[in-house]
Amino acid sequence: RDQELTEIFRLLESGKDVILVGEFGVGKTSIIEGLAQKMAAEDVPDILKDKRLVSLSIAGLIGGVTPDVAQARLIKVLNEIIQAKNIVLVVEDIKELTGITIGGEQSLDLAEIFSHALSSRYFLAIATASPRDYTQYIEKNNALGGIFAPVDIKELEKTQAIQVCAIHTNSMEAKNQIYFSYTAIEQAVELSIRFIHNQYLPQKAIGILETAAVMVKKNKGRQAMVLEADVAEIVSQI
């Protein structure tokens, strides 16, 4: 995702807040995690050096409270961020801030409060949204639409997806004490492309491999190898 990260850096350096736009499963969160790793290693432009990447939990913000309390919580959080002066705020699925209903009541739009704080330029923000949500809730929203610059996150190509899945299988092997053949990883990507059309790479292939790991550990025991046939069986069940 070097190209996407380069575009994120360019926009942040030009004074724009960034929204990653892509379908669920294409790797928006992984890109943010990659950014966090680069920030920790100080392999980032000057604008991000000595900054902290902090994620806002929208569920924690609005859970079990009235709209007034939710707004007060958001204002308090934003004030703390502004005072800190070194925060890059991550808001995943940002459309959850727009027109939310709490306890059967229609709240005031929390996006208005959030966008007002962003327009002050006291901190940087990176958000995520699906293409549909971006068009419906962000692009047409006067408060947020003029603040965030979109970066399109496309589904990975086959070769890229295989590479990503190979990295993810390391943790699966350690967790389940099994091993993956490289051809099984390739098979997961190829069969997910052919037969699973309501999800996206790399997540749909990763899901297949996770299920295959559990099945092989259960049926063959520890230290067993996940083979192409095991992956095919999981896809057949799906």
Compute the chain's Rg from CA coordinates: 21
**What does the mean pLDDT of the chain come to?**
91
pLDDT single digits (tens) 81-90:
999 999 999 9
pLDDT at 68: 83
Task: Indicate the range of 26-40, 63-77, 198-212 predicted with least confidence.
Answer: 63-77
CA distance 153 to 32: 12
Is residue 164 within 8 A of residue 130, CB to CB? The reply is no
CA distance 210 to 143: 41
- The pTM of this model reads 0.83
Is residue 231 within 8 A of residue 187, CB to CB? The reply is yes
pLDDT single digits (tens) 185-196:
999 999 999 999
> What pairs with residue 217 in β-bridges?
none
Residues 43-60, mean pLDDT to the nearest whole number: 92
pLDDT at 66: 80
**In 3D, which of 139, 180, 120 has the Cα closest to residue 21?**
139
